[in-house]
A and B are shown apart, each in its own frame.
Chain A
Amino acid sequence: MIWDNDFAVSVFPLLLEGLWVTIQITLLGTLLAAVLGLFFAVLRRLAIPVLSPVVSFFVVFVRGTPLLVQAYCAFFVLPAYGLSFDAFTTGVVVIGVNYSAYMAEVYRSGIQGVPKGQWEAATALSLPGVRTWGRIILPQAVRTVVPMLGNYLIQMFKDSAVLSAITVVELMATAQAIGSSNFRYLEPLTLAALLFLAISYPASRLVNRLERRYAPQH
């Protein structure tokens, strides 16, 4: 099979549309994962009876099962119980919840990295718990994990290709569709790979710079 440049040029706009969907999934999924992960990390640390162990189990469960299985379950099994959403929404929720389990671990390491003296100073000043978390602990914890969260964003960007399996028409699904309807896979798949790389490579360079900038202050 020889590279057909005209064909490649003709399918490029379609692939760009797919890329835009991939970017949307990544941004929305990361937002969901970042918020949910923080929530999980704090709940675990608070050691609330019943609730905290449930969250811990959930995190272990999500981390221990493949994203693809989770996506299939959400898309094909949940509708049988009346929970049915379009593929895009399901995809964002599945990947967001999946990554929230990993991000919860990242936040946990960030929270653990805040020196004990910070908690003690907050106690000595009688600061209420909500204020201690919101103003003292989390700003320092999150700051140190920003680069790690950035890495997960890049990983999610690539992992979102899995969602093609549940009919989300993102970059990978678009390339596949073009391939199967034209019996030519070389150009669309190569272009799809290059488009992934075109975003993920500069993004990882950016994360490297963030790593230097957000080095711990202590």
Chain B
Amino acid sequence: MRPSTEPQPLSTDLALAPDPVIRFQNVSKNWGSNQVLKSLNFEVAPGEKVSIIGPSGSGKTTILRILMTLETPSEGLVKVDGDILWDVTAGQKVRETKQLRATRRKIGMVFQQFNLFPHMTAMENVIEAPIHVLGMNKAEARERAAELLNLVGLGKHMNHTPPQMSGGQQQRVAIARALAMRPKVLLFDEPTSALDPELIGEVLNVIRNLAHTTDMTMLMVTHEMRFAEEISDRVVMFDNGAAVESGPPAQIFKDPQQERTRTFLRAVLQH
């Protein structure tokens, strides 16, 4: 405790907190008259592992899709690693800019439906972007891809195509593919929702490993509450286009402050 007679200058406190790697400032997203995000303010610190929970239609996936530039915000400012990704004033027509393309490279995404390229082998899926976006030479890209595929436990499946693999294996390839671009921020959009129950574990193991061993920022939308509790530094509860509550997993799951969070958790944890 600092003595109250000697207040520290404010700037010192700010210097201790690192600049956020993700910053949403007054971001709204409308679909017609339906407001999916309502003037959202949201920040994620570098290296932080954040899980977003909430009922479907609460806007949680939209956050990821705006970050991955798969959706355009209707209004607001989004910064990633200090660079502007979106800066939209209401009613403005948005174009894909050079700035957006450059900033987008800092982000990777793992999709609910994996979205692997079905006509390419696991290896080809992983080396495609490093070669054609990062300009890596083929030998180097293959070497790195082999490391990553080994990391996700698929060293023996490098030459298999997605139709020859199980959902769990496909999702692990998709994780390796995203990692190959060395993103600062990795987004997970309900990564286990499309999987058969017995395949969920293998994918969660890979994500857990990443969460524990890398300083990459991870932002995950999930329905796996126990998993979110285990790996997250922070859990954010979303409802109706706004963050209802945010805090360490112990608080959110054991002692939620908001009634909305309590009812949601009661509903999803019951079965």
Q: Which residues does A use to contact B, with CB under 8 Å?
A: 115, 117-118, 120-121, 123-128, 131, 135-136, 139-140, 143, 217-218
Contact = CB atoms under 8 A, between A and B. Distances in A.
Given A120-B70, A120-B111, A121-B111, A127 B119 contact: no
A125 B111 contact: no
B23 to A, nearest CB: 20
Nearest to B65: A120
B68 A218 contact: no
B105 A127 contact: no
A124 B112 CA distance: 13
Contacts of B107: 124
Interface string B142-177: 000000000000000000000100000000000001
B181 interface: yes
3 closest A-B pairs (Cβ-Cβ)? A125-B129, A117-B115, A121-B115
B116 interface: yes
Interface string B85-118: 0000000000000000100110111010101111
Contacts of B69: 123
Interface of B: 68-70, 101, 104-105, 107-109, 111, 113, 115-119, 128-129, 132-133, 163, 177-178, 181
A128 B104 CA distance: 12
Given A126-B181, A217-B163, A121 B132 contact: no
Given A117-B113, A217-B163, A126 B105 contact: yes
A127 B111 CA distance: 16
Most buried by B among A125, A127, A128, A136: A125
Most buried by B among A121, A124, A217: A124
B68 A136 contact: no
B128 A125 contact: yes
A118 B105 CA distance: 18
Contacts of B105: 126
Contacts of A125: 108, 128-129, 133, 177-178, 181
Nearest to A217: B118
B118 A140 contact: yes
Contacts of B104: 123, 126
A218 B118 contact: yes
Nearest to B105: A126
A123 B70 contact: yes
A126 B117 contact: no
Contacts of A217: 118-119, 163
Contacts of A140: 118-119
30 contacts: A117-B111, A117-B113, A117-B115, A118-B117, A120-B70, A120-B111, A121-B111, A121-B115, A121-B116, A123-B70, A124-B68, A124-B107, A124-B108, A124-B109, A124-B111, A125-B133, A125-B177, A125-B178, A125-B181, A126-B104, A126-B105, A126-B129, A127-B128, A127-B129, A128-B132, A131-B128, A136-B117, A140-B118, A217-B118, A218-B118
Contact of B117 (A121, A128, A143): A121
